[in-house]
Amino acid sequence: MKTELKAHAVAEERHFYIPLMEHDLTQEKSRHSVAEHHEIDEMIEKLEETDYSSSAWLVEAKKLQHRIHHHLDEEEQEVFQMGGRVLSDKEKTDLASEYDKEMTNQKKKDW
Ligand SMILES: [Fe+2]
Ligand SMILES: [Fe+2]
């Protein structure tokens, strides 16, 4: 899960959020989503530092779960729609294939 989340953040920031930041309509939302990626990173780190057998681990895991769901819902219900309005069809296709390539490469990394 850590690999998936880390790879997701890198690929999406490079091939979705950076291009979206160039447009006024999507700039603020992009910054918000990138900040959430960072927040999720820190939550993963905290979870790794927490003893798996302690009750705190489950508390932290649930917090992470809620954050991830919030983040994905927001992307799927708000950001993709806004992105659809500012990116051309060609940009969408190009970015999608760059994202896929980046995901494949990032997943090979030892996080
Ligand atoms: Fe994301
Ligand atoms: Fe959010």
Query: Which ligand has an atom closest to residue 83 CA?
Result: 1
15-35 tens-digit pLDDT: 999 999 999 999 999 999 999
Kindly state whether residue 16 falls inside one of the protein's structural domains: yes
**Cα of 111 from ligand 1 centre, angstroms:** 17
Whether the predicted pLDDT of 89 surpasses 90: yes
Whole-prediction pTM: 0.93
Kindly state whether residue 77 falls inside one of the protein's structural domains: yes
Kindly state whether residue 111 falls inside one of the protein's structural domains: no
Kindly state whether residue 42 falls inside one of the protein's structural domains: yes
Distance CA 11, CA 18 (A): 10
Residue 46: predicted pLDDT: 96
Whether the predicted pLDDT of 111 surpasses 90: no
CB atoms within 10 A of CB 24: 8
36-75 tens-digit pLDDT: 999 999 999 999 999 999 999 999 999 999 999 999 999 9
Number of domains observed in the structure of the chain: 1
**Cα of 50 from ligand 1 centre, angstroms:** 24
Kindly state whether residue 8 falls inside one of the protein's structural domains: yes
Kindly state whether residue 110 falls inside one of the protein's structural domains: no
Task: Residue 15: give the domain boundaries.
Answer: 2-104
Crossing angle of helices 89-108 and 2-12, rounded to 10°: 140
Whether the predicted pLDDT of 110 surpasses 90: no
